[in-house]
Amino acid sequence: MATPFIHIPVLLQEVLMYLKPEPKTVWLDGTVGLGGHSEALLTRALPESRLLAMDRDPRNLAMAKQRLSAFTDAVIFVSDSFAQAKSHAYAHGLCPFDGILLDLGFSSAHLQDASRGFSFLAEGPLDMRYDPSSQILTAEEIVNTWPEDELARIFRVYGEELKARRFAQAIVKERTKHPLETTTQLADLIEEVVGHRGKIHPATQIFQALRIAVNDELGELERALPDLVELLKPGGRIVIISFHSLEDRVVKTFFQQCNQLNVVTKKPVTATQIEIKQNPRARSAKLRVAEKK
């Protein structure tokens, strides 16, 4: 059972400053999550504004619907990846957009619910799918079936883990004795390999790598960006918040190389110390903005 918590949207004031919501506008929140950013956008954009609110996770979308219940007439909710935004935007007649927001990565709700398998701090199944009903491979299937070389590759590339090969070898050896089925099983194995000396648990990067691999996070982002630019009206802005260097690199490179965009933020915008104190998750957040020519 998930523990109740208060959702605090990251870099909220910065999002509002760059998107400049006003009446009679159309918006896409491609990662609506628990609805914090969208709530603030809609509060400032009404009346006569519309929002396409998307999320891969149907549980998050259900919570967003509750949070945004006061704006029912203005919002179209879609349970799907932002990589599919183009088809949904045209189907609902909601484009071109005045602004697009992506808040990448997993939410605090995912960590709070052990049954989702995102956290190594509580025992749960090694799942990690944003949409538990999807037919994609789970983290359990990956760690128990992928060859050592492929495990080492994703740990190195997606986790930026220097000990990727050692961890892959340990997993392959362990699974010959019994399958790895839970988050704590995997986390304990990783800790056995290197010990736990610092503030950061040694399984942190391994779990990041598995989550990215399970949900094809970087592939989804790379495929989506050209479509999202197409969906923007001239002068419209796209704001993207990322939480690790892999995502940020994809966004930065695309913004710089896309000849349809002007980069608004030459350097990523980060959270103030005041926000980090109130919301520690904001520490690693980087916000980039581009405007369509």
Q: Is the dihedral of CA 228, 230, 233, 237 positive or negative?
A: positive
Question: Looking at the domain that runs over 137-215, which CATH code has it been given?
Answer: 1.10.150.170
Domain with CATH 3.40.50.150 in the chain: 12-109+218-292
Pairing verdict, β 286-292 and 232-242: antiparallel
Q: Is the dihedral of CA 242, 139, 210, 186 positive or negative?
A: positive
Polymer length of the chain: 293
What was the pLDDT predicted at 109? 79
Please report, rounded to a whole number, the percentage of residues in the chain having pLDDT higher than 70.
Answer: 98
Residues 201-234 have pLDDT tens digits of: 999 999 999 999 999 999 999 999 999 999 999 9
Confidence of residue 2 (pLDDT cuts 50, 70, 90): very low
Residues 111-140 have pLDDT tens digits of: 889 999 999 999 999 999 999 999 999 999
Measure Cα distances from 290 to 102, 228, 259 in Å.
Answer: 12, 11, 11
Please give the CATH architecture assigned to the domain spanning 12-109+218-292: 3-Layer(aba) Sandwich (3.40)
Q: What's the rounded mean pLDDT across residues 174-183? A: 98
Does 33 score more than 70 pLDDT? yes
Domain with CATH 1.10.150.170 in the chain: 137-215
Q: How far apart are CA 282 and CA 268, in angstroms?
A: 13
